[in-house]
Structure 1
Amino acid sequence: MSGISALHAAMPETADGVICLPPGLLDRVRHYRLERVRRELRKRRVPAIVLYDPVNIRYATDTSNMQIWSGRNPTRYVVVVADGPVVGFEFHNCEHVWSDVPLEAEIRSAVCWNYFNAGPEAAVKARQWAREIADLLGQHAPSERQIAVDRLDPEGLHALSEAGIRVVDGQAIMEVARTIKSDDEIVVMQAAIDVCERGIERMYDVLQPGMTEQELWAHLHFENIRLGGEWIETRLLASGNRTNPWMQECSPKVMRKGELIAFDTDLVGPFGYCADISRTWTVGHVRPTDDQRRLYAAAYEQLDTNMALIEPGMTFNEFAERSWTMPDHFFKNRYSCLAHGIGMVDEYPSISYVQDRGYDGVFEVGMTLCIESYIGDEGGKEGVKLEQQVRLTENGCTPLSTFRFAMDWL
């Protein structure tokens, strides 16, 4: 058995196309994630956090409501008290989105003070919102006058300040809380990766000269949505001379036989977890040219070398210093990082090339990471993008993404 049929056989699925998890697993994941948030609040001596980022809300409560829309429009939010309740402030008439989540939470109506909803009354509404937050803090942590918030527009910050509440950075709290994955989380993440790899297999199977980039990209979306996935964060698929430099969005360009096609999935799949995988092929799956093979060999060597280097206890800066040495003619077009965390979306940490002087930190068991490579000559015609999603164990990196590389190109 090979190709898409093998992936289908490996993935639990009911007859109606719904991805199934083992009984009780998702509830354990929910409990683990909420406790990670509360533990981080206690560690930093912050009594509560207000969450607006829809991914943070999903992490803490496993509730979802128009995530792309609410990411632009701050119209639902959640307060998690370190030693108290979860209070969900839900968008208009949407309390039902909490009904299928076994979480003890008080549900209230959100006070929407963004300009779209409040117009010239935005400041008035923001003060109303701030009073409610201050009252909640006073009820559950009466001696405290500070609260964390992950995202906050200036009007809200000003209103909390007027109410005597000091705001601390909640995004840092959430990024650190989300860093270490439980064994159960890995099962859920693997389900998203498996769905993503079905989409990749579908793209591989249908790829032929004469298709547009957008036509090919649609096949990844199809498999993701068909199997309960949610969205794709970027549109990074390019072919031919659009593969160099990288970071060019999918277009109506017609793909020609023999040119390179590369992509980066950035796919948020079932249960809200991200599958971030990159591969590069030739259009028509024809034999690559010697120059295409040269680029691919360098990208694969960078990926393979760096993945083998990472181990628990190593610092980010140590990894950057010891990582694969990129030849000068590739360096200008380097990817933005050597590796980054991954969970529900791209997460902390982001590890820079040593020349870019990134921040330091320590690799820990339980992190999930994406190891990155982009190789393209400065001023060159094409480039190769590869990326592998891994879990960090006591013995180093274990691949989570398994879609094949073009080993016959090496």
Structure 2
Amino acid sequence: MAHNELQAVQLSERDRLLHDVRAYRLARVQEQLRKHDCPAILLYDPVNIRYATDTSNMQVWAGRNPARYVMVFADGRIVAWEFHSSEHVWDGLNLDVELRGALSWTFFNAGHEAERRAQAWGAEIVDVLTQHAPNGRVLAVDRLDPFGTAYLEKQGITLLDGQALMETARLIKSPGELVLIGESLRTAEKGIERMRRELRPGLTENDIWAHLHFENIRNGGEWIETRLLASGDRTNPWMHECSSRVLQSGDLLAFDTDMVGPNGYCSDISRTWRVGDGRPSDDQRKLYELAYAQVHYNMDLLRPGMTFKEFSEKAWKIPDQFVKNRYCCLAHGIGMVDEYPSIAHQVDWESSGYDGRFETGMTVCVESYIGAEGGTQGVKLEQQVVLTENGCIALTDCSFETDWL
């Protein structure tokens, strides 16, 4: 086969993969709308818009500037209000879409005219909803500022929690989505390998963190949600974001990628290393052994059909001296970003736990942080997995420090 013919075949396979993923995701949204007897959903969250339509336009900026929005109907029709002169982001998509110009009524865009513009926005939303769903007085919305909410409710529109619908739609991943998630994870692994290769005393935390960003952008990724990389005494407690601190030989260095990579899917991996040559101390090894045990015990426990509460009750028991600094959850869903569910520790169940059931096809991150209250160092580990009929399977080959165990 000639080279150009091979490229055409590969392109065709890629097109089919993307077509199937887009169709699957839109169908999942439609399924949720029908299940809740809701004719349409109005989306502002850039991640929800990406899931439903596979369009992306300045995702991070749009996340805090509601300048584009989309209405998806239960029959699959889409009306999209796109940002100024950006209709091209819809090119090449096989969607039943009507494009309009977005009307932004944030204070940045409208100043003291925001309420008046919100009324004009609302009149158009109601008009489009009643055009396509004449008897529809119900609309799901994922995010909406007060002026817009007040106007729609004044017009007799009942608003549903669209974020709940979208999180539920995004819960089960198709085989095609798992391929795209794998592509994001391979990019994250390249970034992690680069970080590891460059790691040495004398560099700053920021120097090391930049290598993950480099590989993400270089390979078509999008953004990183946090800056969670810490070294030395900044590893305890967790949640220090990376800084200009200079790495010292013998430090622990821990990080959490939180990387939205190629195809808009998140790679969420945490590892902990030692800076410089030599073996870790006994205290460092002990912290690592406990964190490793927590992640792998809970991975072995996790399986479809188990309830969230049962998983919390049976999860690895954190030794008392590490409970205070525990990670915020035992595990959480993952897809385009962190997703439903978030599984509370048993000690937190009464205040923040909620029940549900794990299902085949869910992708989940299993978490651990081990650092004593008042301690000077800690270990952060996290593994991204997919639930199968027989349990969970790791989605990344990114290695652990098993020679520390």
Task: Give TM-score, length-normalised by structure 2.
Answer: 0.95
Is 1:203 matched up with 2:206? no
Residue number in structure 2 paired with 1:391: 386
CA distance in 1, matches of 2:269, 2:343: 17
Q: Output one character per residue of 1:375-400: Cα deviation in whole Å (capped at 9) or x when no partner.
A: 00111010000000000000000000
Residue number in structure 1 paired with 2:3: none
Instruction: Summarize the alignment of residues 164-313 of structure 1 with structure 2, pairs less than 5 Å apart.
Output: 164-313=156-305
CA distance in 2, matches of 1:254, 1:124: 52
Q: Give the Å deviation of 1:84.
A: 4.8
Q: Output one character per residue of 1:67-111: Cα deviation in whole Å (capped at 9) or x when no partner.
A: 111100111000001125111100111111111323221110011
Find 1:406's aligned residue among 379, 401, 404.
Answer: 401
Residue number in structure 2 paired with 1:9: none
CA distance in 2, matches of 1:316, 1:202: 36
Find 2:364's aligned residue among 356, 363, 369.
Answer: 369
Find 1:351's aligned residue among 312, 320, 343.
Answer: 343
SS at match of 1:320: helix
Is 1:95 matched up with 2:87? yes
CA distance in 1, matches of 2:258, 2:198: 20
Q: Give the Å deviation of 1:401.
A: 1.4
Corresponding pairs, count: 394
CA distance in 1, matches of 2:46, 2:13: 23
Q: Output one character per residue of 1:255-302: Cα deviation in whole Å (capped at 9) or x when no partner.
A: 000110000000000010000000000012531000000000000000
SS at match of 2:193: helix
CA distance in 1, matches of 2:191, 2:250: 22
Q: Is 2:71–2:80's contact at 8 Å kept on the other side of the alignment?
A: yes
Q: Is 1:21–1:188's contact at 8 Å kept on the other side of the alignment?
A: no
Is 1:152 matched up with 2:144? yes
SS at match of 1:118: helix
Q: Output one character per residue of 1:19-46: Cα deviation in whole Å (capped at 9) or x when no partner.
A: 9973410111001000000001101111
CA distance in 2, matches of 1:41, 1:372: 32
CA distance in 1, matches of 2:364, 2:101: 37
SS at match of 1:362: coil
Residue number in structure 2 paired with 1:64: 56
Q: Which runs of 5+ in 2 are unaligned?
A: 1-6
Is 1:378 matched up with 2:365? no
Q: Give the Å deviation of 1:369.
A: 0.2
SS at match of 1:156: helix
Q: Is 2:232–2:376's contact at 8 Å kept on the other side of the alignment?
A: yes
Instruction: Summarize the alignment of residues 99-178 of structure 1 with structure 2, pairs less than 5 Å apart.
Output: 99-178=91-170
Instruction: Summarize the alignment of residues 31-70 of structure 1 with structure 2, pairs less than 5 Å apart.
Output: 31-70=23-62
Residues 135 and 244 of structure 1: CA distance in aligned 2, closer, same or farther (over 3 Å): same
Mean Cα displacement is larger for which, 103-112 or 268-277?
A: 103-112
Residues 138 and 285 of structure 1: CA distance in aligned 2, closer, same or farther (over 3 Å): farther
SS at match of 2:163: helix
CA distance in 2, matches of 1:383, 1:44: 45
